[in-house]
């Protein structure tokens, strides 16, 4: 039977792959500007999911700017397990009990920086389909160990610009959602300085929702790259490094305990190394 959604799935998966390629190229170009020998480069590995599909895991370690950064792309499909079905049903996704098939594609990025003054960052955008409904989700948030208010303002201005091009309601709504979502309850604090987050976006206009998701992805490099380059030139001390490593511990706690994408990836059988790519290479706890 022909899948009436096939062309939309293909367009979305291609877009996420293209965005992945652009970001990888931009990050390697940034490494080139800091190189005094051999610049950092991504190692690219295919990933597979036993039930169907796979993707690309692209990780750079030990660069001049990036201590560890992953830019992953995936396109997966299959049948949701019982736990995932219950989670989807709890979110109001229709039809899970009758037909638990799914398809998903997206890009997921986390960067941990060499310089403690350069902020860590997360970004992802994705499309999810079930026979009952499809939707988009994603966002980006900044996670500095040492905060600069002007960096926070720049990052949020770029996120606002992406949102305002589609709806004046999106930025305040999705900023508030990020503030709530990226909060670490057991520490009583946010994991960073926020950004935007949205999920289950289905306004009834697939083209409009896809266009917005593309805008969010396209806003990432202008929002982050200038901060990464400028702060990576800032001198730092061992005390700065200590602050960075302790902040990374907070980031790891959040991703392992609360992050929805981490839980979904592990529960649906995706490559564990790709799912846990977000974890920092070194972290500390007091």
- Dihedral sign from CA coordinates of 140, 143, 149, 154: negative
Angle at 151 between CA 20 and CA 258, to 5 degrees: 60
Catalytic status, residue 122 = yes
DSSP annotation string for 146-208: S--HHHHHHHHHHHHHHHHTT-TTHHHHHHHHHHHHTEETTTTEESSSEEEEEEEE--S-HHH
Query: Could you give the dihedral angle defined by the CA atoms of residues 216, 245, 21 and 108, in that order, rounded to the nearest 10 degrees?
Result: -50
Residue matched to tokens 């935007």: 196
- Give the pairing type, strands 194-201 and 134-143: antiparallel
Of the listed 112, 117, 122, 270, which one is catalytic? Answer: 122
Nearest partner of 54 among 270, 278, 253, 202, judged by Cα: 270
**79 within 8 A of 102, measured Cβ to Cβ:** yes
N residues, the chain: 286
Q: Is 280 helix (H, G, I), strand (E, B) or coil?
A: coil
CA distance readout (Å), 135 to 14, 131, 150: 17, 12, 34
Report the C-alpha gap between 37 and 1 in whole angstroms.
55
The beta-strand segments (E) located in 22-91 are 43-48, 53-61, 66-79
Catalytically active residues, by annotation: 122
């Amino acid at each position: 039977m022909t899948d009436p959604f096939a062309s939309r799935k293909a367009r979305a998966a291609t877009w996420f792959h293209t965005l992945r390629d652009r970001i990888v190229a931009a990050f390697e170009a940034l490494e080139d500007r800091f190189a005094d020998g051999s610049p950092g480069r991504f190692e690219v590995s295919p990933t597979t999911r036993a039930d169907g599909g796979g993707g690309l895991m692209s990780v750079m370690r030990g660069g001049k700017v990036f201590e560890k950064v992953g830019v992953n792309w995936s396109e997966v499909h299959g049948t949701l397990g019982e736990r995932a079905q219950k989670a989807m049903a709890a979110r109001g996704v229709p039809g899970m009990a009758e037909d638990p098939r799914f398809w998903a594609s997206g890009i997921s990025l986390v960067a941990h920086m060499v310089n403690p003054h350069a902020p860590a960052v997360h970004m992802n955008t994705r499309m999810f389909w079930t026979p009952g409904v499809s939707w988009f989700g994603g966002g980006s948030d900044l996670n500095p160990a040492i905060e600069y208010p002007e960096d926070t303002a720049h990052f949020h201005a770029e996120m606002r610009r992406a949102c305002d091009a589609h709806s004046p309601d999106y930025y305040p709504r999705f900023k508030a959602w990020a503030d709530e979502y990226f909060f670490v309850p057991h520490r009583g604090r946010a994991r960073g300085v926020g950004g935007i987050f949205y999920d289950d976006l289905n306004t009834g206009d697939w083209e409009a929702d896809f266009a917005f998701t593309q805008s969010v992805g396209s806003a990432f490099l202008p929002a982050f790259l200038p901060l990464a380059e400028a702060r990576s030139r800032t001198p730092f001390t061992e005390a700065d490094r200590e602050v960075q490593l302790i902040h990374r511990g907070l980031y790891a706690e959040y991703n392992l305990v609360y992050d929805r994408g981490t839980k979904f990836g592990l529960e649906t059988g995706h490559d564990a190394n790709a799912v846990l790519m977000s974890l920092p290479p070194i972290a500390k706890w007091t």
